[in-house]
Amino acid sequence: MAYLAPAEFVTKMVDAGESKIFMSTRDTIIRAYMAGAILALAAAFAVTVTVNTGNPLLGALLFPVGFCMLYLMGFDLLTGVFTLAPLAVFDKRPGATWGGVMRNWGLVFVGNFAGALTVAVFMAIIVTFGFTEAPNAVGLKLGVIGESRTVGYAAHGAAGMLTLFIRGVMCNWMVSTGVVAAMMSTSVSGKVIGMWMPILVFFYMGFEHSIVNMFLFPSGLMLGGKFTLMDYFIWNEIPTVIGNLVGGLTFVGATLYSTHYKTAPKRATR
């Protein structure tokens, strides 16, 4: 599968982070929009599979197809740039600044949200025949997901917020591992296999992914979910974004960078 050693793919991570910072606004928005839309479509696909088969594992097994497609086409998710863009600053690449990182994060957030929202509207139309009928089984499931993962957390107060945050951390630990896994091989098959495994883990475990939620919760609101827009932002999206940032940068970006790129001096032998 043409596997690259850690020192080689971590160098690619730093190079990728630098390219994200200096990418034009137009390209950043387009790539983020398409990434959000494709991932949202994969989430809709996974929910449909789960509803039609009654088997959540089967939905989780098939969900990574969207993640693989978007990364093979060079599109960007917020969860990925959370991990990659800061590495260029850590490495003191010329012109790489935290201002540039924040610009990239902001543009990717907007693009991802717009893409996911587009698919949310499309799916709401599909499952209600243009809002002329009650939601079908898939539409009802989308509404229930939104309720349980907003007001469901709120019912537990601070403990619910902590649980939500930790699920966000663990999500991007896995998702960013998938992003890095795509750099471990130079073949399409190797990249797909590498990406598939951690994405399957995150989705089946019910961890909180900020971009998937940009689809699930707006569609849930359109389909009669019993929660509000503020419930969505306060009791899911904002804590999830923060958790995704911490998880991806801490457990993937910084750890790989520190041990495979900026390695510590070898211990002297006697």
Over residues 256-269, the mean pLDDT reads 81
Tell me the pLDDT tens digit for each residue of 11-29: 999 999 999 999 999 999 9
What pLDDT sits at residue 71? 97
**What does pTM read for this prediction?**
0.95
What pLDDT sits at residue 229? 96
- In a domain? residue 266: no
| CA distance readout (Å), 93 to 24, 139, 252, 261 | 18, 47, 20, 14
* Number of folded domains that form the chain: 1
- In a domain? residue 268: no
What pLDDT sits at residue 270? 57
CATH of the domain at 117: 1.20.1080.10
- In a domain? residue 267: no
- In a domain? residue 269: no
What pLDDT sits at residue 110? 98
Over residues 119-147, the mean pLDDT reads 95
